[in-house]
Amino acid sequence: MQPIIECKNVTKSYPGYLWGSKKVTALIDVNWTVFPGQRWLVTGPNRAGKSTLLRLLVSLIRPDAGQVHRSGQLTSCAKTLQGVGYLPEDAHLPGHWRVEALISWVASLHKLPAQRLRLSVAKILHHFQLKDYASAKISQLSRGLRQRVGLACSLVHHPKLVVLDSPCDSLDELGLSQLFEWLRRTVDSQTVIIAQANALAMQHWASHVLELRAGRIVYSGEAEDYFRYRNGRGTPLEDICHAISREAGI
């Protein structure tokens, strides 16, 4: 089976915050493979490199070294983005757009036929309970409602690869239940990658976990093993991470 995502020796850094300061390394020699139908949780503390990794996956940035392949092609190939849905952390939606118009426009970018587009928009508005806000401007919405609109834009075209950065942030109880209901209904043909610092929130959803610390992978494998260690029914995960970190010189 061909991987849908393959990272090979990926390193990424950013300029220092102060003039003349050293570069800030966000990812170091990351090797990671994702197969179709898997549900990956990318977790780790703040500034671990989670958002940087997701931006690389959707071609927003390029690695300093190494390669990222999406569906067998380098992520610089724009045509592979047609089957991708992405929600960035703290997504800034255009405030002057109206909810339904924005979701419809995003769907049109993925070249959905007119009839399917209308049906998909209607379904996603219903699922995230946005029908009452269809004609409202984005600027008039609460932060939680804007997050729901962002999720709707990411999912309306039924992407084969879904990449969500901290989707649980800003959502109220209703928004969270809607998100998890959608996640529960994802089929094997969809691959979902979610970055979330609070790993326990995704415990009953993820099939696999990737944990990053200081830009390095400290765990990559099945979620069942990860949470068994984390919940104290095996070798403590912190001990594993610290041992790996010592070996890596972190």
What is the domain partition of the chain in residue ranges?
Answer: 5-92+160-248
How high is the mean pLDDT of the chain? Answer: 87
pLDDT per residue over 95-145, tens digit each?
999 999 999 999 999 888 899 999 999 999 999 999 999 999 999 999 999
pLDDT per residue over 66-102, tens digit each?
999 998 877 665 555 778 999 999 889 999 999 999 9
Strands (E), 35-165: 39-43, 65-70, 73-74, 84-87, 161-165
The DSSP result for 23-65, as a single string, is: PEEEEEEEEEEE-TT-EEEEE-STTSSHHHHHHHHTTSS--SE
If we measure between CA atoms, which residue out of 128, 130, 127 comes closest to residue 100? 130
**In angstroms, how far is CA 231 from the centroid of its own chain?**
24
By the 10 Å C-beta count (0-12 exposed, 13-18 middle, 19+ buried), 238 is classed as exposed
Is the pLDDT at 246 greater than 90? The verdict is no
Model pLDDT, residue 119? 96
Architecture of domain 5-92+160-248: 3-Layer(aba) Sandwich (3.40)
What distance, in Å, lies between the first and last C-alpha atoms of the chain? Answer: 34
Give the whole-angstrom CA distance, residue 48 versus residue 68.
19
Angle between helices 143-155 and 99-109 (to 10 degrees): 30
Percentage, residues of the chain above pLDDT 90: 64
If we measure between CA atoms, which residue out of 50, 51, 11, 3 comes closest to residue 31? 11
> Could you tell me the strand order of the sheet in which 191-195 lies?
84-87, 161-165, 191-195, 39-43, 208-213, 216-222
Model pLDDT, residue 36? 93
If we measure between CA atoms, which residue out of 60, 55, 64, 51 comes closest to residue 23? 64
pLDDT per residue over 154-165, tens digit each?
999 999 999 999
Model pLDDT, residue 236? 46
pTM of this prediction exceeds 0.95:
no
Q: Three-class SS of residue 162?
A: strand
Reported confidence tier of residue 18, pLDDT bands at 50, 70, 90: low
pLDDT per residue over 183-239, tens digit each?
887 767 789 999 999 888 888 899 999 999 999 999 999 999 999 887 765 544 555
The four Cα atoms 36, 39, 45, 47 give a dihedral, to 10 degrees, of 30
pLDDT per residue over 19-47, tens digit each?
656 788 999 999 999 999 999 999 999 99
Is the pLDDT at 182 greater than 90? The verdict is no
